[in-house]
Amino acid sequence: MTDDTLTRLRDMEKAATPGPWTHRLNHKPYRIVAFGGKRAYDEGLTTADIEPADAALIVTARNTFPETLALVEACIEVRRVLMTPTPFAEAEAADAAWGVALDAWLAKAEAGRTET
């Protein structure tokens, strides 16, 4: 992944409606996704009816997007360290940062199952 791609992804995330997004049952068996949390239902910021699995994927992907980018950046750094001669302390720091990024992503993904 190039720096340009990461920059575009960061810019897209900043421009998108902030989270957390949610999803809830609309017309059985379909769900709707609300952009920007509970107030979105009142303001009509929702999708048309979509399949429950699609709603869950969209909401989880959006709510974990910042952590996903951080995890990708940490993986890129670990790869850089592994591919170039580096001092042990730098390699150890990259490995620790990757672990922190992964833990944050996992926690957010678990909490990101926003369903009402």
pLDDT digits (tens, 9 = 90+) for 29-75: 666 666 665 566 556 666 677 777 887 888 888 888 888 888 888 88
pLDDT at position 84 over 50? yes
Is there a contact between 96 and 104 (Cβ–Cβ < 8 Å)? no
pLDDT at position 113 over 60? no
Least confident range of 10-19, 64-73, 84-93: 84-93
Which pTM was predicted?
0.65
Is the previous residue joined to 66 through a cis bond, with omega within 30 degrees of 0?
Answer: no
User: Average model confidence (pLDDT) for the chain?
Assistant: 77
Residue 46: the pLDDT is 64
